[in-house]
Amino acid sequence: MIYLIAAAILLQSTDSVAAARAKFAASLKYQTGDVQLKGGLATLKGVGQNYRFLDGEQAGRVLRAWGNPVKDNPLGMLVPTGMTPVDSGAWAIVITYQDDGYVSDSGASKINYDSLLGQLQQSAREENAERKKEGYATMEVIGWAVPPHYDAQAKKLYWAEELSFGGDTVHTLNYKIRVLGRRGVLVLNAVSAMSQLPLVQEATPDALAMVQFNPGNRYADFVKGDHVAAYGIGALIIGGIAAKAGIFKLLIPLLLAAKKLILVAVAAVAAFFRKLLGGKKKSPATPAT
């Protein structure tokens, strides 16, 4: 009898979570068309065909729903059309801005990307003690999912990394785009499961073409006397100014955390019934999304 009660309560809880997710998805306010970023800094042109845009406040809500500790909201988020951020298999591109100055690309053609990968992997290992201390899962950089490529004409850099968190066998994909501007860099990070690499890679060219700095903020608008960043193209791949300081900050923590969506309640109920029914303590299975 107790098993039937447990099953009924668990099912009811699951239904409640599904209702909460649906309510959250319906509350999001999307934008389409030409979208201005950061008070006219840059423009996302033609949003609507393959993506919908969430502003900074809405994007912050999504990141928190994913279980990420967000202090400052990003500039926004691009969500592929045909899905919501709380769908199973959902992914999105988070947009931020680094105002570290003009990043010189003079040595871009001479970068040894294999050497950079080794630095990333070593830095990740060295930083894991601090990550555990702060309550985050350890991280391993498995390798390039897509090797770095710099488009010198468009001043855009993109690459993808395959990551493993806490030894999880389901690896995470971080697909990254950097758009160089006069005073800083637009940062676009797509976070998804590795299995979604073909989907993300297919959708990336649209995102690359969509984002443009506005006149006055473009890379070509640089004039003598503008602030110049203390790092170059290679350091963008290993964390910008943090790389120069010898500190591994591959991504801000909110983008490293595994997406939990809104399934905490289901996990808690499952744990409760394991205890109630006197089952032996086992490693909890990840709830199906």
Considering the domain architecture, whether residues 120 and 225 belong to the same structural domain is answered as yes
Considering the domain architecture, whether residues 160 and 207 belong to the same structural domain is answered as yes
| Whether residue 185 has pLDDT greater than 90 | yes
Domain of residue 136, CATH code? 2.60.120.1690
Classified as helix, coil or strand, 128 is: helix
Considering the domain architecture, whether residues 40 and 86 belong to the same structural domain is answered as yes
| Whether residue 11 has pLDDT greater than 60 | no
Angle at 175 between CA 172 and CA 181, to 5 degrees: 150
Considering the domain architecture, whether residues 7 and 85 belong to the same structural domain is answered as no
Considering the domain architecture, whether residues 106 and 219 belong to the same structural domain is answered as yes
Query: 97, 179 in Cβ contact below 8 A?
Result: no
Query: What percent of the chain has pLDDT above 70?
Result: 77
Confidence band for 28, pLDDT divided at 50, 70 and 90: very high
Task: Sheet containing 76-80: give its strands across.
Answer: 51-55, 76-80, 92-98, 185-193, 172-180, 156-165, 139-151
Considering the domain architecture, whether residues 227 and 168 belong to the same structural domain is answered as yes
d(CA 149, CA 175): 12
| pLDDT tens digits, one per residue of 110-121 | 899 999 999 889
Task: Sheet containing 42-47: give its strands across.
Answer: 33-37, 42-47, 211-213
| pLDDT at residue 193, as a whole number | 81
Considering the domain architecture, whether residues 162 and 278 belong to the same structural domain is answered as no
| pLDDT tens digits, one per residue of 79-91 | 999 899 888 888 8
| pLDDT tens digits, one per residue of 40-81 | 999 999 998 889 999 999 999 988 887 776 778 999 999 999
Q: Which domain holds residue 11?
A: 1-28+260-289
Considering the domain architecture, whether residues 217 and 144 belong to the same structural domain is answered as yes
Considering the domain architecture, whether residues 286 and 254 belong to the same structural domain is answered as no
| Whether residue 247 has pLDDT greater than 50 | no
**Of 178, 159, 139, nearest in space to 256 by CA:** 139
Considering the domain architecture, whether residues 212 and 267 belong to the same structural domain is answered as no
Confidence band for 134, pLDDT divided at 50, 70 and 90: confident
b/e per residue 44-62 (b: at least 16 CB within 10 A)? beebeebbbbbbbebbbbb
Residue carrying the six token digits 């996302």: 44
d(CA 133, CA 155): 38
Confidence band for 124, pLDDT divided at 50, 70 and 90: confident
Query: Taking residues 190-198, what's their average pLDDT?
Result: 84
Query: Taking residues 199-225, what's their average pLDDT?
Result: 92
- The amino acid that residue 116 corresponds to is L
| Whether residue 96 has pLDDT greater than 60 | yes
User: For the chain, how many structural domains are there in total?
Assistant: 2
| Whether residue 228 has pLDDT greater than 80 | yes
